[in-house]
Every structure is written in structure tokens, then in C-alpha cells.
A = this chain, B = another copy of it.
Amino acid sequence: MGAKRDHRGGRERRPHVVILGAGFGGLNAAMSLRRAPVDITVVDRRNYHLFQPLLYQVATAGLSPAQIAMPIRRILSRQSNATVLMDKVEGVDTRARCVVTASRRITYDYLIIATGARHTYFGNDDWAEHAPGLKSVADATTIRARILSAFERAEVTDDPVLRERLLTFVVIGGGPTGVELAGAIAELARKTVVRDFRHIDSSTARVLLVEAGTRILPTMPPCLSKKAQRQLESLGVEVALGNAVAGCDVGGVRLADATEISSSCILWAAGVMASRAAMWIDAPADRVGRVVVDERLNPPGRGEIFVVGDTASVSDGAGQPVPGVAPAAKQMGRYAASAILDDLAGRQTAPFRYRDYGNLATIGRKAAVADFGKARLSGYPAWLVWNFAHLWFLVGFRNRLVVFLDWAVAYLRNDRAARLITGQHEC
């Protein structure tokens, strides 16, 4: 290959679409514009797209990071109108229509903000050190190292009090991530590693799921919450409802009712806060920081800016808020792309309507709950649907057969081969 042209030079000026974030929303917007007469720049501070619904599998050693992450460049390598920049967004100059990153200023004609969400400790940022959350690959390998190290340290110690603390795992938050983490840790302790130790019995490990509300999986119908709780309990998870966390420190968790739980492995799956996009564009935000957008996904008075995915606060048409799930982010990303095409063609765009295809949460290797409105599943059938759905939605960013082989092998072996304790502290 010879020298390459600059992507903006050497031909007529085409509208420039800048997309911030290469999660489900941003990536689907970029891919929907692949045949459009526009130049696209995708900015992400990471070099990979992450299949976040399976991140808990990395945290519990079932999959490797590379099995659920994919280089953004590779996904878009054949899309010649798209440029990828690995860079950190520092702000947006909405007047000059310009994104400011750590290294440069990028002018735009259309801006799609898809920078997602991160976890929040509701103002208790000192809890972060003791109760890591799960949003990035680094979070997942940190959590994996904490879970595995707890067993290792329990095997080495002669102190029964310390051993009990090391074998107590607390997951805070009863949403899908908390349920998946608690179920996977219980299976790890009771099945996968049970033959590996000589001094401890890993199956006596205590796994506690703490939820402030009155039921787990609050976005599901109550009957499925109950089924999920029963499935979790049959795996050995204790579910504590109606009890908020009042404090986390190196020794464990203190609950609102003053119960103290001694634990060396606390995981945070409780609070989510949108990225700083509302501040960048000086737009109104809801209480978790999401930009309040209209039914065209624009913030007030900014028809050239679209906010999609977990960064957007939007209603589904029936007045219900659109949930912060991958299918919603994908739909919003595609909608923003089509609204830009309509705008370029001088057409009107119909308002965004969220299509809810159902709601799924997995609990263990053979259990899940699924809500498709009229149809509700639980147990093994729900688990099969969950797997098929994940496989299906991976299409477009990774070879489906390879993923199927990867996961089939991981499932058949059931030995969580990715049980590596790595990280800065290893040396």
C-alpha cells in the first residue's frame, strides 16, 4: 500500500459525523452510515468494543477478555468512510461545533454522543477501593483477581476468623449484573474449584446478595423476581432484601439495619451514573446524569447533536423510560444515523420508538429468567434463550462460529480456564 490520503482532503467536502464512544450505540450508528455520503470519525479512549452483557463472565473466570472484546479498528476496517481515533474527550464546543480531545480539536456537522455510563457510589467514593464495580476489562480482571485471591489466601491462613472473612463474598445490588455475579461466584465455589484445595472446603463459602429494594431484578415482573431468587438460593446464594449499604471498608460491609458482614471481597453492582456528556454540551440532565433528550434524541435546541444509549434519558413513547440495555442503545444508534440521513435529504424523521424485545437475566450455568411480555420463561429454557440471544447479538462484530466454538468449549469444560490472578500487584 502506498501513502494514504488524508480522510478529509483531496475531494469535495462531505458532512462530518463525529461519534463519541464505540459501545453498542456508537458502533451501530457508525455501521448504519456505511453507505452514506458522509465522513465519520469515531472517538473512543479504548481501542476495543466491549460486549458488556458478558463482562461478568470475565470477572468470574469463565471467559477471557479477548473473547468479549474486539478492536474497534477491525470492526470498521473495511468501512472506508470511517476513521477511528483512540483519544480522550475533554469537552465539546457546541458554538464552534467542535469536539476537544486530549490531542486535538475535531469539528463536526453532526455529533452523536454515546459515551455510556459508569458506576457510582452515591457520593461515597471511598467505597470504590473496597467494592470495585464492573464496567471495563480492567474492572473485570481486578474482580477476578480478588475472588481467586480470597480462596488462595484462605488456603494459606491458619486463622479461622480470617478464613471465614476470606470465604465471604458480598455482592451489592440486585439488578442483572449483581444476580449474574452472585450466581457465578456461588457456582465457582461449589463446583469449579471444589477439588482444588486441601485445607479449605470452598463449598462452604458464603455468597450474599444485598438489595436495597423489596425484590431482585426490579425491572422484571414480580413473579420472575421470585423465581430468580429461588434459583439463586438453590445455588447457595443468600439474598438480603430491603437493606441498603451504610458503609464499606477493608473489613467488610455495614448495612442500614446495623448488621456487619465481615468480608474481604465486596463487589459493587448497585449504582450507575451517565458519563459527563451533559456537562460537555451544557444540557439538562436527570438525577443519574443522563442528558434529557426529545423524541428525536436531540438535547433542547441542538438538532445536530444526538445522545444515545446509557447517556440519554428518553421515554419510550408510552411515557416509560427506555431502559439502559444493549438493545436500546443499538436502536438509538441506528435511529440517530437515519435521522442524519433524513436531515441530509431534507426529509422529516419520525420520533424514536423503543421496541422492547424482552428482558433476560442469567443466574447460573443452567438457569435464567426471561420476560417477553406475554411469554415468561425461567430455568433451563430461559437459559437456552439467553445464550441464543447473546450469540445472535454478537453478529456483526465477531465471527459467529468462532464465538460459538469458544463458548461451547468453555461450557463443556466447565472449568473456568481463565482463572488467572494477574495485575500490577502480582510481582
Contact = CB atoms under 8 A, between A and B. Distances in A.
Interface string A132-144: 0000111001000
A6 B413 CA distance: 29
Interface stretch (A190-198, A216-224, A229-237, A377-385): A190-198
Contacts of A203: 1
A259 interface: no
A75 to B, nearest CB: 10
B70 A157 contact: no
Interface string A190-214: 0001111111110100000000000
B138 A74 contact: no
Interface in A172-203: 193-201, 203
A194 B1 contact: yes
Interface centre among A85, A413, A422 (most CB of B within 10 A): A422
26 contacts: A2-B201, A4-B197, A4-B198, A6-B199, A7-B199, A47-B152, A47-B420, A47-B421, A64-B64, A64-B67, A66-B418, A66-B420, A69-B420, A70-B417, A71-B419, A71-B420, A73-B196, A83-B199, A85-B155, A87-B156, A137-B422, A138-B426, A141-B422, A402-B413, A405-B405, A405-B409
Interface of A: 1-4, 6-7, 45-48, 64-67, 69-71, 73-74, 77-78, 83-87, 103-104, 136-138, 141, 148-149, 152, 155-158, 193-201, 203, 398-399, 402, 405, 409, 413, 415, 417-424, 426-427
